[in-house]
Amino acid sequence: MSLGLDLPGGQDSSAATDAAQPYRVLARKYRPQTFSDLIGQSAMVQTLSNAIKRERLAHAFLMTGVRGVGKTSTARLIAKALNCIGPDGQGGPTIDPCGVCEHCVAIAEGRHIDVIEMDAASHTGVDDVREIIEAVRYASVSARYKIYIIDEVHMLSKNAFNALLKTLEEPPAHVKFLFATTEVDKVPITVLSRCQRFDLKRISTELLTEHFATICTKEAVDADHDALMMIARAADGSVRDGLSVLDQAIAHADMALADDAGSDARPHISAEAVRNMLGLSDRTVVRQLLGHVLQGEDGTMLSLLDQQHELGVEPLAQVRALMDMVHAITLAKIDEKAAKSNGLSAEDQAMLSEHAAQMTHGTLHRLWQMLLKAHSEVAHAPDPREAMDMAMLRLVYAASLPDPGAVAKVLDQGGGAAAIAAPASAPSTGPAATNQAEATVAVSQPPAQFAPETANTAAQHQATPAMPFTDLIQALDREGHLELAQIMHDHMRLVDYGDGRIVYQLASKVRSDFEAKLRDALLRLTGKRWQVEKGDGNAQPSIRERALSQAEARKESILQTPLVRAALDAFPDAELIENGEAEAHPDRSLRA
């Protein structure tokens, strides 16, 4: 049969390699030889162990997961477990194959006649599957089971899958099928339903770091913990990818030490060497870059980018590092424990906690969206360096844009572009003029949209007795209390309002826990407890009621103008509507 058998060189033996043999990369040298060597897959090992002990072995297994987590290695381990006969030749299937019996040794060396490994990527046709169908009728030569390992099984053609279905559903008792794939969604459901499926997990960064540290010890290599952490992050859950990077890092360390201490010196993998090798940005630099962005320091930020560019750091890697930091800050804001359980240094954890306490959810989400756009622009730009500069400047200058809520307030109070651009021209007398001037100044001064505000400053601002009720609603809205802000805007009629006190009546029925939720929200917002209660007496209309009343007054005023009265006389069926309503009903003839 021409089933694409793996040659002995493709498998690894647990025996020590002879010095005369060529060097083997770490990914091959440390391929798991027992289930105890398979890291991060305890659930699958437990299931297989119980199945073997209870003699409930399926006839077909399918291993799926991302590249490099051990799918093919697991298939080979299962082949060993099912065919192991123990050192004395009397053993049965076991989750701990001995590794010394003739079957274990032959499978490890890739020369067992009853364990056939087929690469579906190069044998995709129905003729290749037909050879399997013909061969399964014959009993195994020496082993307990005849085992077919089909790697990248999703590459088989539709006809090949169909040809395999009947044999896969009712194979002879002496045959087992082991499939491995990275794209399980491409495997027909008719095949999946005939297999016992195991989803191999991504390996966590912490577990990979420990694994790499153990291998460094075996290889007589010194490595910084931060260096191994960077390699584990670069592996993205793949053991094979991480070992390939570690192999490169060891070679890099060897060359660095050869000039000073000779070729026999013990290699040392430093965090700086790994960072330079991978083209990563130093986390200290990332912290500084984020700080310059938040403070609006464009010149300093561009100088730092120039330094990183000269060091060979890729712009896309810098954007990705900033995204990682913003994501970590967001998680730390939700749960402070997240800042202490992600393997970061104490300095990084302190930075995360500080930023999480100072920045709002809205600010973090705006940062994330702008960085996400920057990532796409830098990845597809003809000159990534220039795209990086422009994207970062956009982040910096976003801090000087007016707050949308303040702009809306100015416009709602009758201000326009002139009022926003020139606060000095605002009226300077009277209560209405005072409120207008406050709102205009708030807009005209560049509020650092991304600049963190200390908790004490925020509390003092929120505790000001003269703080307008509308500002309080907007502050709750910005902090994510949308439902509370909506109720206060639409239904709350104020009887008395002052510093730390709200006495109100309701225009309509609201949820029963409204008061309790409002007190908690105001406590978190201002740092002090508020008195919130219903009261009797004269109450002002709600903000929504005032807006509707003003709109009705404006409409009545327009109806009294000579031009509109003449139009209504000429077209008796016409009615006056708002612009937005007119767009929804284009058949109406008169627009405000």
pLDDT attached to residue 453: 43
- Looking at the fold, whether 74 and 188 belong to one and the same domain comes out as yes
pLDDT in tens, 516-573: 888 888 888 888 888 888 888 888 888 888 888 888 888 888 888 887 777 777 777 7
Task: Say which residue, 276 or 299, is predicted with more confidence.
Answer: 299
- Looking at the fold, whether 479 and 518 belong to one and the same domain comes out as yes
Q: DSSP 3-state assignment of 82?
A: helix
- Looking at the fold, whether 164 and 186 belong to one and the same domain comes out as yes
Average pLDDT along the chain: 78
Is the per-residue pLDDT at 579 higher than 80? no
Q: DSSP 3-state assignment of 495?
A: strand
> Of 350-354, 360-364, 489-493, which one has max mean pLDDT?
489-493
Query: Taking the mean position of all CA atoms in its chain, how far away is CA 384?
Result: 23
Range of the domain at 422: 404-534
pLDDT attached to residue 7: 38
The reply to whether 414 falls in a domain is: yes
The reply to whether 591 falls in a domain is: no
Is the per-residue pLDDT at 587 higher than 50? no
B/e letters for 383-401, b = 16+ CB within 10 Å, e = fewer, are ebeebbbebbeebbebbee
- Looking at the fold, whether 308 and 296 belong to one and the same domain comes out as yes
- Looking at the fold, whether 65 and 166 belong to one and the same domain comes out as yes
- Looking at the fold, whether 510 and 424 belong to one and the same domain comes out as yes
In order, the DSSP letters of 413-425 are TT--HHHHH-GGG
pLDDT band at 113; cut points 50, 70, 90: very high
Would you state the structure tokens that stand for residue 435, as one six-digit string? 């409120």
- Looking at the fold, whether 470 and 322 belong to one and the same domain comes out as no
pLDDT attached to residue 459: 39
Number of domains making up the chain: 5
> Of 113-127, 282-296, 323-337, 442-456, which one has max mean pLDDT?
113-127
| Other Cβ atoms within 10 Å of 112 Cβ, number | 24
pLDDT attached to residue 498: 83
- Looking at the fold, whether 193 and 71 belong to one and the same domain comes out as yes
Domain finish residue from 254, 277, 300 = 277
Is the per-residue pLDDT at 76 higher than 80? yes
The reply to whether 506 falls in a domain is: yes
- Looking at the fold, whether 130 and 189 belong to one and the same domain comes out as yes
- Looking at the fold, whether 149 and 32 belong to one and the same domain comes out as yes
- Looking at the fold, whether 214 and 194 belong to one and the same domain comes out as no
- Looking at the fold, whether 174 and 38 belong to one and the same domain comes out as yes
Contacts of residue 429, Cβ cutoff 8 Å, sequence gap at least 6? none
112 secondary structure, DSSP code: -
Rounded CA-CA distance 258/113 in Å is 46
